[in-house]
Structure 1
Amino acid sequence: MKQKLPESLVVDGHPDFDRLRALADEITARAGGPLELERQFPAMLRDCIDAVIMTAKTGRRAYEDLEKTEKTYIGTRVEIELRALLRLRKGRLDTLILDQDVDIKHTMGTNWMIPTEALDHPCLLVAADEQRARCYLGLIVARPEYLTTGKNKDSKASISATGFGHILWLLKEQPYPANFWRDLAAEVVDEIFAGDTGNLRMATLFRRVQSHIIPRDVVEAVARQKDFMRRIRSDGGNGTRDVLARENIVVLEGRKDAQLIRALGLPACTGSEFISCKLLDPRQINLAAQAGHRVDTPT
């Protein structure tokens, strides 16, 4: 998305203000309030994109690795998931909100393509910026004067430079979860998924990616098993934690080990996130032991 967006002109007195404000309030209420919208919408986008990249199965690590048809499908998936998130019905266009037909448009770039059937209708604009891990959610009435005069072969027009000022933003520059695999070297990804068993892959993950938050869905993708949480437990000396303990590496859970994570100066994790680190000095080893984590004494 463009890094410099104009201030919204959609304020009291704007011809679209009452219409868009009512739609925005309905969307926010359906999400459970502004804080829930800020929490759920970015996570939904991350899931939609990662489900198409499928790093665990394909080895691909980024949106840029996708085929053209796959990139298009992300927009379809976002439309479906957004309707489900907000409990919206399908309409003549993509959805119905307050009995108005609303088109849902998604982009991973800097603009949206508006079809002729959406002219003069509200459009719910969704954007994901993978490079900066920022997302956007806005509303616009697709008036011809807000669109470019040039059209593509499907007679779709994009929002003009001045048209961007007529967007009412619900979320703007909102952080969303970065693609976990994007910044990992290809050889590290290959090494993680080269393991023949869930334990081997999991041990490599926490060995090679230390002091970095690892989301639960990444653990699930690496394990490739229904009971994926079992792969990070101790298991009679053969589990992931057992193997890594012999290398002085601890695997910590966001909620259970919150105090130890803080004491070790590691990034804060949520209850569904994990982090690992190698303990190199007696103080760290003692802290870990007090929290119930055993490691071998460094030699």
Structure 2
Amino acid sequence: MAVPVVGEERDRALEEVFETLIALDPDQSRIAAALRRTIDQLYDGQNTGRYRWDQLHKTEKTHCGTLVEINLQREFNFKDGVLLDYEIAKHQVDCKYSQSSGGWMIPNEAHAQVCLLVTADDAKSTFSAGIVRARREWLNVGRNRDAKATLSKAGRENILWLARNAQLPPNILLGLPADDILAIFAPQSGQRRVNELFRRAQGRRITRGVVATVAQQADYMKRVRGNGGARSSLAPEGIIVLGHYGAHRAVGRCLGLEELLAGESMSVRVVPADEADYWTAEIDGRLWRVADAHDPVVTAPTLPPVSAAW
């Protein structure tokens, strides 16, 4: 995207900030991960069991912008700004978050400055991030005492987008049917809740935050692994629980499953396969494939150790 011009001059500061952010995060996955952590931090699912935006208190929603600013600085190690939040490429940059696109409130000290604009929608699993010069002629200045402003139509049209309606790492609890949610949270035991999660959410990437929310225990990831965890508890039902480890990712690729990112898990029911079948993985000395609804239940194989080389 072309960088806006001011008079006859290019906005070099805006261009340098934009290029620096692209270099730091070419596919915007780091911004997405930081936003996912921020939202999960607000939910505090491990202690509260919350997983939806409407479950938050008004003060918590208001605090989201501050947490986004902090977590993006931690992710990218931005220097503290002198006048504004950050120093990026030797330029002052203000970070503004809004739950809705276009709702960013630009304070007086950020007028005419470079702003990093961020928004996220957990229900839609999308986020956007871009930068803009908050030129005074592009602002709708409010009448309140602190003179906060919103971007005008011209200002919104001149945002340089790093990501627009890109995929936010999903909160799979928001995408499950209501009956499944009720069944997952019904047991008193954290282990039984985690078992039900992996039983009902097969083929989905499940983040650590989701596991923490369902388990509501300090050692929540222990509820996923073997020795009494979901991996061993669900094996008699033919269900394997893959982690983000190299050997498990290799099994997932062979089975045609979506690649797991750090901290993610995925469950899937498997059955023995023939050499003629597509998407098969050799596990525990024989071929397996993802089961369909008509396949009989067969005890799941033992997954390779996490240190195994594939």
TM-score, structure 1 as length reference: 0.79
Match of 1:141 in 2: 133
Kept after mapping to 1: 8 A contact 2:211/2:220: yes
Rounded to whole Å, the distance in 2 between the matches of 1:90 and 1:206 is: 45
Query: Partner of 1:114: helix, strand, or coil?
Result: coil
Kept after mapping to 2: 8 A contact 1:8/1:166: no
Rounded to whole Å, the distance in 2 between the matches of 1:219 and 1:164 is: 38
Aligned match for 2:265, one of 244, 254, 274: 274
Match of 2:63 in 1: 73
Runs (5+) with no aligned partner, structure 1: 1-6
Match of 2:285 in 1: 290
Query: Partner of 1:214: helix, strand, or coil?
Result: coil
Match of 1:110 in 2: 101
Indicate the larger mover: 177-186 or 136-145: 177-186
Do residues 257 (structure 1) and 231 (structure 2) align?
Answer: no
Task: Report the alpha carbon displacement of residue 270 of structure 1 after superposing the two structures with TM.
Answer: 3.3
Q: Quick one: structure 1 residues 45 and 271, their matched pair in 2 at CA, closer, same or farther if it must change by over 3 Å?
A: closer
Aligned match for 1:128, one of 120, 129, 144: 120
Rounded to whole Å, the distance in 1 between the matches of 2:54 and 2:286 is: 42
Indicate the larger mover: 97-106 or 38-47: 97-106
Q: Quick one: structure 1 residues 133 and 16, their matched pair in 2 at CA, closer, same or farther if it must change by over 3 Å?
A: farther
Runs (5+) with no aligned partner, structure 2: 275-279, 289-296, 301-310
Kept after mapping to 1: 8 A contact 2:128/2:165: yes
Query: Partner of 1:203: helix, strand, or coil?
Result: helix
Do residues 91 (structure 1) and 82 (structure 2) align?
Answer: yes
Task: Report the alpha carbon displacement of residue 168 of structure 1 after superposing the two structures with TM.
Answer: 2.3
- Aligned pairs for 1:191-270 within 5 A: 191-235=183-227, 238-254=228-244, 255-270=246-261
Q: Quick one: structure 1 residues 121 and 135, their matched pair in 2 at CA, closer, same or farther if it must change by over 3 Å?
A: same
Do residues 82 (structure 1) and 72 (structure 2) align?
Answer: yes
Task: Report the alpha carbon displacement of residue 53 of structure 1 after superposing the two structures with TM.
Answer: 2.0
Q: Quick one: structure 1 residues 119 and 233, their matched pair in 2 at CA, closer, same or farther if it must change by over 3 Å?
A: closer
Alignment coverage as a number of residue pairs: 284
Aligned match for 1:183, one of 175, 186, 194: 175
Rounded to whole Å, the distance in 1 between the matches of 2:142 and 2:262 is: 49
Rounded to whole Å, the distance in 1 between the matches of 2:8 and 2:260 is: 43
Alpha-carbon deviations, 1:188-244, whole Å to 9, x = none?
A: 334434444443222111112112121233234434445444322332xx4422321
Do residues 19 (structure 1) and 10 (structure 2) align?
Answer: no
TM-score, structure 2 as length reference: 0.77
Counterpart of 2:243 in structure 1: which amino acid?
Answer: E
Q: Quick one: structure 1 residues 14 and 191, their matched pair in 2 at CA, closer, same or farther if it must change by over 3 Å?
A: farther
Kept after mapping to 1: 8 A contact 2:83/2:92: yes
Kept after mapping to 1: 8 A contact 2:45/2:212: no
Kept after mapping to 1: 8 A contact 2:50/2:213: no
Q: Which has the higher helix share?
A: 1
Query: Partner of 1:148: helix, strand, or coil?
Result: strand
Root mean square deviation, CA, Å: 3.2
Indicate the larger mover: 178-187 or 242-251: 178-187
Kept after mapping to 2: 8 A contact 1:45/1:128: yes
Task: Report the alpha carbon displacement of residue 105 of structure 1 after superposing the two structures with TM.
Answer: 0.6
Query: Partner of 1:102: helix, strand, or coil?
Result: strand
Rounded to whole Å, the distance in 1 between the matches of 2:222 and 2:287 is: 18
- Aligned pairs for 1:20-39 within 5 A: 20-29=14-23, 31=24, 34-35=26-27, 38-39=28-29
Rounded to whole Å, the distance in 1 between the matches of 2:51 and 2:238 is: 29
Counterpart of 1:18 in structure 2: which amino acid?
Answer: R
Kept after mapping to 2: 8 A contact 1:251/1:275: yes
Counterpart of 1:158 in structure 2: which amino acid?
Answer: T
Indicate the larger mover: 219-228 or 77-86: 219-228
Match of 1:40 in 2: 30
Q: Quick one: structure 1 residues 257 and 101, their matched pair in 2 at CA, closer, same or farther if it must change by over 3 Å?
A: closer
Rounded to whole Å, the distance in 2 between the matches of 1:43 and 1:92 is: 27
Alpha-carbon deviations, 1:102-139, whole Å to 9, x = none?
A: 22111120211112222112211112233442322222
Percent same amino acid among aligned pairs? 35
